[in-house]
Structure 1
Amino acid sequence: MNVSLQREKQDDAGEATAVADACFARFIDVQKSYDGVELVVKGFNLDVRRGEFVTLLGPSGSGKTTCLMMMAGFETPTHGQILLQGEPIDDLPPHKRGIGMVFQNYALFPHMSVAENLAFPLQVRHLPKEEIKRQVARALAMVRLDDFGDRRPAQLSGGQQQRVALARALVFEPELVLMDEPLGALDKNLREEMQYEIKRIHAELGVTMIYVTHDQTEALTMSDRIAVFNDGVVQQLASPETLYEAPENAFVANFIGENNRLHGEVIESIGDRCEVRLDSGETVAARPVAAGGIGARTTLSLRPERVGIVGEGDEAAFDNRFQAEVREVIYLGDHLRTRLEVCGNDEFIIKTPNAKGFPSLRPGQTVEVGWSSRDCRALDA
């Protein structure tokens, strides 16, 4: 064999081994069908690094919870393989996988006290009584419920019950914790509080977490990386910042954060700039991301905070400028939300931060708005 070719193959094998060693949990070409015909998960591949917080995000029915249940052992893949620490676990029953699990409905035993709920996973593992007592106390302290061990779940608030459910998933010190919409039953303030609580615990313990939610704010707040699901397929896997700032397709752009969309046809494309003729007739300069060639239909994606009103000091960067009519102005404290009609779109939103006060706007007023082509992404139609 040619020496350079042999060395190249050895390097590739070494790189593959290094990747496998770095991955704590792996989904390899996993598919799932419940009826033998329709796939709810289609060719799912994901490598989760040790200590990472990965969120599976998507609308209801997109396949994210099914993937979590397959990792937990409650569902079996129709095709593909799931590895944990490099070993296949498809034939292992759930209780032998050593995985902590947190459900949306808490799944606490109502007839047991908080301490007894936490002790249960340790008792089935036949730990000594003193060790159980020590680990229960440690878990209660971790979720800041030191004085609640003697209470029953019914005596706790929703947020406290969710803390107990989290503590129970962590009490036996698993290396992997799965969470299925764990904050879905909480009100807004409690949800936000628990997001930061889970993030704090993850940082303190360094445990690997896979989290399922349909709430984009949760995903952006808590995750190292996010896999965005739609119709059983991962649309994009990236950091929260990358998903928001650089969505690869129109679904991700629309699902992550608020997004202005304009539809049209590519009429020119050179390098990192293209020209799009909108359905309303105007021409917009944009950054071609997934727009196709000349003549292709495209959706322009533009974040509301990247649009400004000409005359407010930011127009130097605006190579796109259009007349707009103000339809609605809403004061939200930290920013002003303005809905306008722009280029035939009467649901076009601008968010103006409350840094130096707000521009004086009123419904019916005509203004000029603008944005940079660098902030306008030409995506699939």
Structure 2
Amino acid sequence: MDAPLLRFESVRKPALGLHGIDLALPRGACTVLLGPAGAGKSGALRLMAGLASPDTGRLLLEGGDFHRPPPGWRGTGTFLPAEALPRGRSVEQVVTELLRGLPPRERAAHLARALTALGLDGQEATPLSRLSAPQQCRVALARALAPQPSLLLLDDPLEGQEHATRQRLALELRALVRRFGLTVAVATREAEEAMLLADHLAVLEEGQVAQAGTPQQVYEEPASAFVASLVGENNRLPGTVMALDGEECQVRLDCGPELWARRGDAGGPGSRCIVAVRPERVAVAAMSAEEMGEGALPATLQDVIFLGDHLRLLLAVGRGGALVARRPPGSRVPRIGGPASVAWDPYAAFAFRALR
């Protein structure tokens, strides 16, 4: 991945919910800011757009002063949600709104490029009000893309779309980023959407970057219980740290069993923790824990739910413990209500400091 186009260094802007953010946006890649409401995502985009300045810290553009752009810098393009676009105008009028300073021939070329990229060819004269919600979203993207900005900023661009439409548009946006080598920053609260779009994923928590890396890195090696719960489904078993051994720790679960897990940000012996393990990493067998092998825990299969692309297994562990496992359709599973055992690679489970 290329060197950062834009870098945040200890940026604080409490009025925008930023409390010491460190972040690098690689050139020619899609950086997704993922976090709940109030995490600082939109505030970070406002700084990138030049609509506000840090109270402390620095924004660096290609290693230099953010307010003195380097040669060739074409500014930022900001996505406006479809409902904020002028309703009484045609697609062409909406998309060319930011191109008024260009000569007519160049303006026409920018328009054609943007409409072709978003599959809107032939819709130039169509009033925006006559388009479907997904088509209006494409027009909004075309409007932001038309000036060919050096940095494209998208604040929850697919909000309000149906789930299937969000997925489809996210894949189209992903293809656009790669086809044109765009540098993009996207803010979203949707983990699935973030995983679809991101080359570089930054999880924000209370105005700081809780973890950054590729989507795979953040998913497979979360830095905290917050990150683990935000990025994909996760079993969370509360317990107490008993002992430490290098990068691993022994935990006594509240439901009874003891086990070993990788130490995330869990504290020392006696501290409260959460053991997190992804459902797809939980192995389930219709045999005793002794037969299953070292590290296996006795369990009871309570229900099996068919969800099309996978089976969802609901299991009871110990005294009141609950686990979810996933299996491909057609997999052999224990009898509901009958004995079973569960196990996972200790390297796939993490012990995190208990959430507040």
Task: Give TM-score, length-normalised by structure 1.
Answer: 0.85
Matched-pair identity in %: 37
Matches of residues 206-285 of structure 1 in structure 2 within 5 Å? 206-285=181-260
- Structure 1 residues 311 and 366, CA gap change in structure 2 (3 angstroms): closer
Contact 1:98 1:174 in 2 (8 A): yes
Q: Partners in 1 of 2:238 and 2:107 — Cα distance?
A: 61
Q: Partners in 1 of 2:212 and 2:172 — Cα distance?
A: 24
Contact 1:275 1:284 in 2 (8 A): yes
Contact 1:277 1:284 in 2 (8 A): yes
- Structure 1 residues 171 and 317, CA gap change in structure 2 (3 angstroms): farther
Displacement of 1:248 after TM fit?
1.1
Displacement of 1:317 after TM fit?
8.4
Task: Provide structure 2 residue ranges, at least 5 long, that are not aligned to the other structure.
Answer: none
The answer for the alignment partner of 2:3 in structure 1 is 22
The one of 4, 9, 12 equivalent to 1:31 is 12
Contact 1:81 1:90 in 2 (8 A): no
Displacement of 1:217 after TM fit?
0.3
Indicate yes or no: 2:59 matched with 1:82: yes
- Structure 1 residues 233 and 318, CA gap change in structure 2 (3 angstroms): farther
Q: Partners in 2 of 1:274 and 1:114 — Cα distance?
A: 59
The answer for the alignment partner of 1:108 in structure 2 is 85
Larger RCO, structures 1/2 (Cα 8 Å, 6+ apart):
2
Displacement of 1:289 after TM fit?
2.5
Displacement of 1:259 after TM fit?
0.6
The one of 54, 61, 64 equivalent to 2:38 is 61
Task: Give TM-score, length-normalised by structure 2.
Answer: 0.91
Query: SS state of the match for residue 138, structure 1?
Result: helix
The answer for the alignment partner of 1:298 in structure 2 is 273
Letter in 1 for 2:340: V
Letter in 2 for 1:378: A
Query: SS state of the match for residue 280, structure 1?
Result: coil
Comparing 331-340 with 97-106, which one deviates more in the overlay? 97-106
Indicate yes or no: 2:355 matched with 1:377: no
Deviations 1:179-221 (A, max 9, x none): 0000011101110110100000000110100000000001111
Aligned residues: 350
The answer for the alignment partner of 1:359 in structure 2 is 333
Deviations 1:83-102 (A, max 9, x none): 3333434599xxx9721111
Matches of residues 38-53 of structure 1 in structure 2 within 5 Å? 40-53=17-30
Runs of 4+ in 1 over 4 A off after TM superposition: 315-318
The answer for the alignment partner of 1:6 in structure 2 is none
Query: SS state of the match for residue 182, structure 1?
Result: coil
Indicate yes or no: 2:169 matched with 1:188: no
Q: Partners in 2 of 1:275 and 1:83 — Cα distance?
A: 44
Displacement of 1:345 after TM fit?
4.5
Query: SS state of the match for residue 132, structure 1?
Result: helix
Contact 2:314 2:325 in 1 (8 A): yes
Q: Partners in 2 of 1:367 and 1:52 — Cα distance?
A: 46
Query: SS state of the match for residue 146, structure 1?
Result: coil
- Structure 1 residues 208 and 180, CA gap change in structure 2 (3 angstroms): same
- Structure 1 residues 167 and 232, CA gap change in structure 2 (3 angstroms): same
